[in-house]
Structure 1
Amino acid sequence: HRASYGQQQGIGSCWYVYQEKQKKIQMQRPEQLRKMAVRQGYFSLLDHTGQQRTKRDFLGCWVLLYFGFTHCPDICPDEVDKMTSLVCILDDDPSLPSVQPVFITVDPERDDVSAMAKYVKDFHPRLIGLTGTAEEVKQAGRDYTVYASAGPKDEDGDYIVDHTIIIYLVNPDGLFLDYYNRMKSDVQIAENIRNHMINYVKLFPD
């Protein structure tokens, strides 16, 4: 059956209201994202040169974050190697902005500034290592929902830290944008980041 004129008017009116609601949501979204970016993932840590670093130091940059520890026997080196590789892949495309790789320890008891300095030099030259007090490191991880738990110590005082194995992507507004697990290759991650960069819309005006 064909809809009556009145029914057609009603359908048209509902569609108009829906469209206006969607427009309002789209207008509000940038402001919501701005508020999220200001408070999301804030940290204050020491880098591998002993310099204080906060989230604000990385605003305006694309950032890759990985939480791990320098005594990790295999997974952390593999993941930081992967992060180094995908940064190099992205650097090969001159149309894309550079990416800042960052390694944040989950084991501040052993990973002091000097340990971080020794560790990061084996990877990408732009890699920044961050450490701090137990509480500062815990807070940084909490903001990215990173799980970390130290296992029992052996007779030499050595131990393994069980932790989240994720590479995080943070956009130039400081907003957590995406994450990549161990199943994703460097090529797959680089392609995903490339798409994020191409579709990026700046939240904060200059």
Structure 2
Amino acid sequence: MSRLLRLICLACLPWLLAACSPAEPPAQKLPFKGSDLTGVAFGGDFALLADDGQRVALSDYRGKVVALFFGYTHCPDVCPTTMLEYAAARRALGEDGRGLQVLFVSLDPARDTPAVLKGYVPHFDPTFVGLTGTADEVAAVAGRFKIVANRVEGEGGGYTLDHSAGSYLIGRDGQLRVYQAYGTPADALAHDIRILLR
């Protein structure tokens, strides 16, 4: 091979290599502690009755990060534990905590009236909001977020609910972003909320 041909090949090598590489580097995944749900095809906007008696929609909270949790006020362990973790996460966020809205959707609308929710949800943090509705409305919203709840009959006519125990973080644009498993500590919740507040 002549010296001139070798020089031409060496000069063209960067363009040949560039043609073989992707035009843009792959998008970097955000380092969430929870499970990244970006781009999933479930969830979405909904409207229910808030604990102050006013009807509100998820979209009313655009601009904030929303923590969405489904439970019920008679829940003996999972619900209060999760609500306490979110309260601790909000405190850990300091001033940034103003950008977080926790919504507690009751899976037990027969017992969890707005008045009952008003006496329960703000106990964890005065900014937290309880939501309820008719049984059909609640079931529809729960279904959209893949939440399962089964009534378990107890003694004396009482009952409990076995239900999905995780929670969701929704970005400021209203898109579902992160699933947080039950038992996620407050510092991990705060970490992921900070990412979404950026």
TM category (shorter chain) comes to: 0.7 to 0.9
CA contact (8 A) 1:70 1:116 kept: yes
Partner Cα distance (2:130, 2:20) in 1: 54
Contact 2:172 2:196 in 1 (8 A): no
Length, aligned pairs only: 178
Aligned to 1:193: 193
The structure having more radius of gyration, on CA atoms, is 2
Distance between the aligned counterparts of 1:97 and 1:49, measured in 2? 20
* Aligned-partner SS, 1:126: coil
Aligned to 2:107: 106
| CA contact 1:46–1:53 (8 Å) conserved in 2 | yes
Q: 2:90 aligned with 1:82, yes or no?
A: no
Q: 1:171 offset after TM fit, Å?
A: 1.1
Q: Deviations over 1:59-81 (max 9, x none)?
A: 11111111100111122111111
The 1:66–1:14 alpha-carbon spacing in structure 2 relative to 1, beyond 3 Å, is same
Quick one: which amino acid aligns to residue 159 of structure 1? Answer: Y
Of 39-48 and 136-145, more deviation after overlay is shown by: 39-48
Give the Cα–Cα distance (whole angstroms) in 2 for the partners of residues 49 and 95 of structure 1: 25
1:154 Cα deviation from its structure 2 partner: 2.7
* Residue from 42, 47, 50 that aligns with 1:44: 47
Q: TM-score, normalised by structure 1?
A: 0.75
**Map of 1:159-198 to 2, 5 A cutoff?**
159-198=159-198
Kindly state the Cα deviation for residue 44 of structure 1 after the two structures are TM-superposed: 1.4
Counterpart residue type for residue 176 of structure 2? F
Report how far residue 173 of structure 1 moved.
0.8
- Please tell me whether the aligned partners of residues 64 and 169 of structure 1 are also in contact (alpha carbons under 8 angstroms): yes
CA distance in 2, matches of 1:173, 1:186: 23
**What residue in structure 2 maps to residue 204 of structure 1?**
none
Contact 1:96/1:197 (<8 A) preserved: no
Task: Measure the CA separation in 1 of the matches of 2:148 and 2:91.
Answer: 28
Distance (whole Å) between structure 2 residues aligned to residue 115 and residue 144 of structure 1 = 24
Q: Which has the higher contact order (CA 8 A, sep 6+)?
A: 2
Aligned to 1:201: none
Letter in 2 for 1:67: F
Residue pair 2:86, 2:189 contacting (<8 A) in 1 also: no
| TM-superposed deviation, 1:177 | 1.0
Gaps of 5+ in 1: 27-35, 199-206
Q: Name the residue aligned to 2:34.
A: none
For residues 82 and 68 of structure 2, the distance between their equivalents in structure 1, rounded to whole angstroms, comes to: 11
RMSD across aligned positions (CA): 2.8
Could you tell me which runs of 5 or more consecutive residues in structure 2 were left unpaired when the two chains were aligned.
Answer: 1-8, 28-38
Deviation digits for residues 119-170 of structure 1, max 9, x if unmatched? 123210001000001111112112221111111x234221111111112111
- Tell me, yes or no, if the aligned pair for 2:72 and 2:107 is still in contact at 8 Å: yes
Contact 2:67–2:101 (Cα < 8 Å) also in 1:
yes
Which range moves more in the overlay, 135-144 or 96-105? Answer: 96-105
Native 8 Å contact 2:106 2:138 kept in 1:
yes
